[in-house]
A and B are shown apart, each in its own frame.
Chain A
């Protein structure tokens, strides 16, 4: 299992954007073979545009966004508006363990490739549909990107400052939905390993995000209280100080969180204000919570001319949880992440050496791996149709001319 624990598992995916592709990317990191079905007819927008930087990519094979989300995969082109292409897609499914799709609910069925169709050609298939709101319910056809389902799920409402409007959240939310999708797919795969039976999973991105806001939900369900935005305050109303404090420089900050009296005394010592530890207002966790705005002022006054990294090292030596608030540049330069190999370069035919992030786990027995860059559009059509589906070179040529393989 040189590629990872899922070596030998084959996944065929009909996904685009971020949430679907990253679900299978995670499985690919773990060694699964991923075949991405795409088409020039409708190019994945992650190949065309970056939502983050508003950049248009001139060439669909040159998108670093697509590269980050589709590492290790193979790409075949099939124009699914053609019946022959659907037949070929079914042949791919018949040789797969897992199918993942994230089209708008109803679309994959109209194409003739829904779970029922897949099960006919592969009775024990595991089939996951990922959509914004799920395959059932009055909003099932609602379309939505990460900012949409993060806000409908209640997370935007609790992010930001109390005296500000809610915050728009972005693509990082897709990757959370993707992680839930990878988890549920694997659970079904384990179940198949034991029972021989596949199944269908209807995953709603919106619901995966709902679960990440459990405290606010439980507070509403128990007390009918509607929690709002609380900046950097502790979600459990216990820790104080618990905030981000200005440091020397342009936009440098340090986050400090104190859970108990020992950490509080250590922080007072670091600030050279041991008398604060004796101050009644701050003597116990409960009273610190009540007086946290005063605490924030005291700490900000002290931290604002200090270097964020030096402060982290000093406070950590004393046992106080403190970290800088890192920008993407600072992350790239961080010595800890460097030693951990968190950023790695992948050879890419057009992007040359493209930096990506490593898989988010280390495993002692079957390490996850990045084996290759994301595929160019249709890069593996020839090989997969010939080797896996036993199609002749002449047949493939004809299908290309007929824009079936397109």
Chain B
């Protein structure tokens, strides 16, 4: 697979493939490299092009080459590579690849089996197709901050996006599904195709249940949901942080009563019927909350879960890395990197019985695989390679 990308969405897509054994060639601009190389976190907060935590995470298991397809020779080399690959993933603005003469229609002539994925902020058609958007803008224009009332219920303050790298990785993961499906059908028909993903639609799709509510005559979302009226999902402060309780089913509600131990009070105050559960939800939340405050997350969750009551801790990155569950499942693994040294990185969220996730190689140094790809695969000689380097092509 060829990964020619400028955002984080395409590289996350190809990371998923590389992690499952695909040979992914990550194309970077000569000299400067991928922008992710300049992105924190860095060890000790010292910026270094080979030590970005973002770059190291996104490009594990990939090969890395440098190439400038804007130069005529670079374009020629890109075409040669595109002839040899099964998949090309790009996430440049619509029209960019066509301007370079490297659009799907150009490339499929020489490689009819090519599956090409194009990830753009708003898709390749429609009135906003040329609008630019960073993950923040995508989060908001997809309704993420507004449709889900819970992240930002104070109308005096701005709605907020989901934290982490969610919005930039969602479109990549979404694209990865269609790419594999296209490869599946290609094995039968021999034909490749163009897969188009709009980041806005990929993120909006995650809210597909909530997004259609007013279209179907339901209420328009407001950020201030009727939180105290419903006792399905509630967050409680406890002795050492917060926990989240989700009890939609009767037996879970009964388990909660057992956990709190004040069954008589509960029975008197709760209406059996979900989802409201209580005539006086605030009093109910106060009663549960006062019990939670006396216990730690670990005490609450282990006792609740023993009763099949879905209560979970709100965990920080530190809690996640040190969690017994994550340790048992080897979610964080050791990595040796020639510049960054010994590191730990996240592995993968699925365990395959026959073809398990493997750490084949650390993320590539800038241009690390130029020789492998250009000389061994494309047959360039050392002199040629040197000339291309001097011309700024690679």
Instruction: List which A203-234 residues lie within 8 A (CB) of chain B.
Output: 203-204, 206-208, 210-232, 234
Task: Report yes or no: A190 in contact with B150, Cβ–Cβ below 8 A.
Answer: no
Interfacial chain A residues near B161, Cβ < 8 Å: 159, 232
Give every chain B residue within 8 A of A154 (Cβ-Cβ): 164, 315-317, 319-320
Q: Contact: B208 with A365, CB < 8 Å?
A: no
A230 to B151, CA, bound (A): 12
Q: A149-B312, A323-B131, A365-B192 are in contact. List 18 more A-B contacts (CB 8 A).
A: A53-B218, A56-B274, A151-B313, A152-B314, A154-B320, A166-B314, A172-B207, A186-B177, A187-B355, A214-B54, A226-B317, A251-B155, A251-B222, A323-B138, A325-B145, A327-B221, A328-B212, A365-B193
Interface residues in B96-144 by Cβ distance below 8 A to A read 104, 122-128, 131-144
Residues of A within 8 A of B126 (CB): 336-337, 339-340
Q: Is B195 interfacial (CB-CB < 8 Å)?
A: yes
Q: Which of A167, A179, A213, A218 contacts B41 (CB 8 A)?
A: A218
Which residue of the partner chain, among B162, B214, B243, contacts A329 with CB atoms under 8 Å?
Answer: B214
Select which of B125, B212, B352 is within 8 A of A199 by beta carbon: B352
Whether A151 touches B136, Cβ cut-off 8 Å, given contacts A54-B230, A323-B141, A365-B192, is: no
Cα separation A343 to B139 with both chains bound (whole Å): 18
How far is B177's CA from A31's CA once the two chains are assembled, in angstroms?
Answer: 13
Interface hub of B324, B346, B349 (most chain A Cβ within 10 A)? B349
**Chain A residues positioned under 8 Å from B104 (CB to CB):** 364
B166 within 8 A of A: yes
Complex Cα distance, B158 from A65, in Å, reads 28
Q: Does B331 contact A (CB under 8 A)?
A: yes
Contact A4/B146 with A213-B164, A226-B317 known, Cβ cut-off 8 Å: no
CB atoms of B325 and A139 under 8 A apart: yes
Q: Among the listed stretches B244-252, B282-290, B364-372, B375-383, which one makes contact with chain A, having 4 or more residues with CB under 8 Å of it?
A: B244-252
**Complex interface residues of chain A between 329 and 381 (CB less than 8 A to chain B):** 329-332, 335-337, 339-340, 342-343, 351, 354-358, 360-366, 368
In the bound complex, residues from chain B placing their C-beta under 8 Å from that of A217 are 317, 320-321, 346
Docked Cα-Cα span, A9 to B188, in Å, equals 12
- Residues 130-189 of A contacting B (Cβ, < 8 Å): 133-145, 147-149, 151-161, 165-173, 175-176, 179-184, 186-189
Complex CA distance for A52 and B150, rounded to whole angstroms: 10
Which chain B residues lie closer than 8 Å to A191 at the CB level?
354-355
Distance in angstroms between the alpha carbons of A8 and B184 in the assembled complex? 11
| Interchain Cβ contacts under 8 Å between A and B, 30 examples | A144-B310, A147-B233, A153-B315, A154-B164, A159-B160, A159-B164, A160-B160, A167-B151, A168-B150, A169-B151, A170-B150, A171-B210, A172-B148, A182-B177, A201-B353, A202-B350, A206-B325, A215-B40, A215-B54, A216-B317, A230-B163, A251-B223, A257-B137, A316-B132, A321-B134, A336-B122, A342-B201, A356-B212, A357-B208, A361-B175
When chains A and B are docked, how far (Å) is the Cα of A210 from the Cα of B346?
A: 8
User: Which residues of chain A come closer than 8 Å to B197, judged between CB atoms?
Assistant: 360-361
Closest to A159 in B: B163
Which residues of A are found within 8 Å of B45, using beta-carbon distances? 223
**Please, which residues of chain A bring their CB within 8 A of the CB of B214?**
328-329, 332
B329 within 8 A of A: yes
Q: Are B311 and A148 in contact (CB under 8 A)?
A: yes
Docked-complex contact B158 and A212, CB < 8 angstroms: no
A193 and B184 form a contact (CB under 8 A): yes
> A223 to B202, alpha carbons, bound, how many Å?
32
How many A-B pairs have beta carbons closer than 8 Å: the answer is 526
Residues from chain B with a CB closer than 8 A to the CB of A354 are: 212, 216
Contact B220 A328 (CB under 8 A): yes
How many residues from A make CB contacts under 8 Å with B?
163
User: Which of B226, B246, B323 contacts A144 (CB under 8 A)?
Assistant: B246
Determine the residue in chain B with the shortest Cβ distance to A228: B316
Contact of A133 among B133, B180, B325 (CB under 8 A): B325
B354–A199 CB distance below 8 A: yes
Quick check: is A302 within 8 A (CB to CB) of the other chain?
no
A367 to chain B, nearest CB (A): 9
Q: Does chain B have a CB within 8 A of A118? A: no
Give the residues from 1 to 37 in chain A that come closer than 8 angstroms, CB to CB, to chain B: 1, 4-9, 18, 26-27, 30-31
**A241, chain B: closest CB distance, angstroms:** 10
Say whether B72 faces chain A, with CB atoms less than 8 Å apart.
Answer: no
- Whole-angstrom CA separation of A357 from B211 in the bound complex: 8
B298 → A minimal CB distance (Å): 11
Complex-state Cα separation, A182 to B206, whole angstroms: 14
By a CB distance below 8 angstroms, the chain B residues around A148 are: 244, 246, 310-312
Residues of B with C-beta under 8 A to A4: 181
Residues from chain A with a CB closer than 8 A to the CB of B374 are none
Minimal beta-carbon separation of B61 from chain A (angstroms): 14
Q: What residues of chain A lie closer than 8 Å to B125, measured between beta carbons?
A: 339-340
Do residues A169 and B162 form an inter-chain contact, with CB atoms below 8 A?
yes
Of the candidates B145, B191, B211, B248, the one whose C-beta lies within 8 Å of that of A51 is: B248
B349 and A168 within 8 A (CB)? no
Cα–Cα, bound, A153→B160 (Å): 19
Q: Are A325 and B182 in contact (CB under 8 A)?
A: no
| Interface status of B65 (Cβ within 8 A of chain A) | no
A325 to B346, CA, bound (A): 32
Tell me whether A253 is interfacial, beta carbon within 8 Å.
yes
Give the residues from 164 to 181 in chain B that come closer than 8 angstroms, CB to CB, to chain A: 164-166, 169-170, 173-178, 180-181
| CB atoms of B176 and A183 under 8 A apart | yes
Given known A199-B353, A342-B201, contact A218–B54 (CB-CB < 8 A): yes
A145 touches B246 (CB 8 A): yes
A197 interface residue, CB < 8 Å from B? Answer: yes
Q: Which residues of A275-319 have CB atoms within 8 Å of chain B's CB atoms?
A: 312, 316, 319
Check if A363 sits within 8 Å of B174, measured CB to CB: no
Given known contacts A147-B246, A168-B233, A325-B146, is B40 in contact with A237 (CB within 8 Å)?
yes
Q: Contact mask B181-199 → A, CB, 8 Å, 1/0? A: 1111101110111111110
B260: A residues at CB distance < 8 A = none
Q: Please determine whether B132 and A319 come into contact, CB atoms closer than 8 angstroms.
A: yes
| Residue contact A165 to B317, C-beta cutoff 8 Å | no
List B contacts of A251 (CB < 8 A).
146, 155, 159, 222-223
Q: Does B213 contact A (CB under 8 A)?
A: yes
Q: Which 3 A-B pairs have the closest CB atoms?
A: A218-B53, A365-B193, A158-B163
Asked whether B42 is an interface residue with its Cβ less than 8 Å from the other chain, the reply is: yes
Q: Does chain B have a CB within 8 A of A235? A: yes
Chain A residues with Cβ below 8 Å from B276 are 54
